[in-house]
Amino acid sequence: MEMDLLRKVSEAPGISGFEYGIAEIIKRELEGCVDKIEEDAFGNLYAHKGKGSKTIMITAHTDEIGLIVKHIDEKGFIRFAKVGGVPDHVLLGQRVQVHGRNKRLSGTIGCKAIHVMKEDERKQLVTYDKMFVDTGATKDQLVKYGVRVGTPITVERGVTELENGLIVGRAMDDRAGCYMLMEALKKANPVNRIVAVFTVQEEVGLRGATVSSFLVRPDLGVAIDTTIAGDHPEIGESEAPVKLGAGPVLVVADGRRDSLGGGLIANPMVVGWLTDLAERLNIRCQFEVLEGGTTDATAIQLSREGVPSGCIAIPARYVHSFSEVVSKSDIESGVRLLSGIMENPVPI
């Protein structure tokens, strides 16, 4: 496994709408490995490989959750808005990077100290609107550095290898998927036309997939993403049965917790094909109905006249925490499965 590449894509800054850094890494990595690389006006990156009568669109989103400057007070403290599904409780005390036009600044997320909180405040969750970013800079300095309303802020986290083949890092959702898609493109000899799309703005409404699927007009779509691994304390197996190290996940359905509305009902033919393919390749897979989230596959399936679509997800602990834990073996199996998708006829 290419740990240097995974580390590079995990640590690249790129909240929704500001994915430029990760896009440049992908372009450089795939140069000479695919037939053509293109970028659309929205920021999606398209890597083309192979020819054939059928077009398979495979997506992995490049954006990460993060923050954006909302207000700068007279002392230089920055108030922020959240970009994507950022839980308030993971923010306090995080080290951050503020990406000014002229300078990148280090900072930390603070709030008033517990010593001066009233008794009832101590018992409450500190919400993000009570927090701020402290870079040490004055307001005039921030202006000089090009920090203003709309400047992106990323959490500063590196990749660390844990025991038993596990990895912890920022933005594994979905930089692990980007890594898998790049590695599969390098290895595979496609029998169909593969359009690998590294989509933008997934975390704020599947926007990149909506645009790109309309352009690609695929015969079949597959999204790569992460999903909730529940193999840790404080979560029941019936609520989240997926486990690290047990292989990639074939998502059967996802969407809102109360109804699965607004999500994906994976095409049964696609799920069956992926299941059979995994068995032939001797790849162990898991199956999931995910309540409470969705992926790019939801947008792909609704494009134009409709597209048979599915989703392959990599188990991750602590999703959207800025320290997401994944398994090397799951990622490696995912690369093999993606290569198999590219190298085998599709049942349509």
User: Annotated binding site for Zn(2+), which residues?
Assistant: 61, 173, 203, 225, 320
- For residue 293, the 8-state DSSP code is B
Cα 55 to the center of its chain, rounded Å? 23
List the catalytic residue out of 183, 202, 288, 324.
202
Structure tokens at 309: 């679509």
| Helix (H/G/I), strand (E/B), else coil: 117 | coil
Which residues make up each annotated binding site?
A: 61, 173, 203, 225, 320
| Helix (H/G/I), strand (E/B), else coil: 275 | helix
The answer to whether the CB of 66 falls within 8 A of the CB of 152 is: yes
- For residue 265, the 8-state DSSP code is B
Give which of 150, 173, 193 is closest to 60, Cα–Cα.
Answer: 173
> Residue 90 burial by CB count (10 A; 0-12/13-18/19+): exposed, middle or buried?
middle
Torsion of CA 48, 50, 52, 54, to 10 degrees: -50
Active site residue 202: yes
- Burial letters for 14-28: b for 16+ Cβ neighbours within 10 Å, e otherwise? bbbbbbebbbebbee
Count CB-CB contacts under 10 A for residue 101. 10
| Helix (H/G/I), strand (E/B), else coil: 214 | helix
Structure tokens at 341: 């998708």
- For residue 256, the 8-state DSSP code is -
Query: What sign has the CA pseudo-torsion 283, 287, 292, 298?
Result: positive
Q: Give whole-number Cα distances, 301 to 214, 241, 269, 327, in Å.
A: 10, 26, 13, 29
Structure tokens at 15: 């909240």
Cα separation of 181 and 188, whole Å?
Answer: 10
Q: Which residues are catalytic?
A: 202
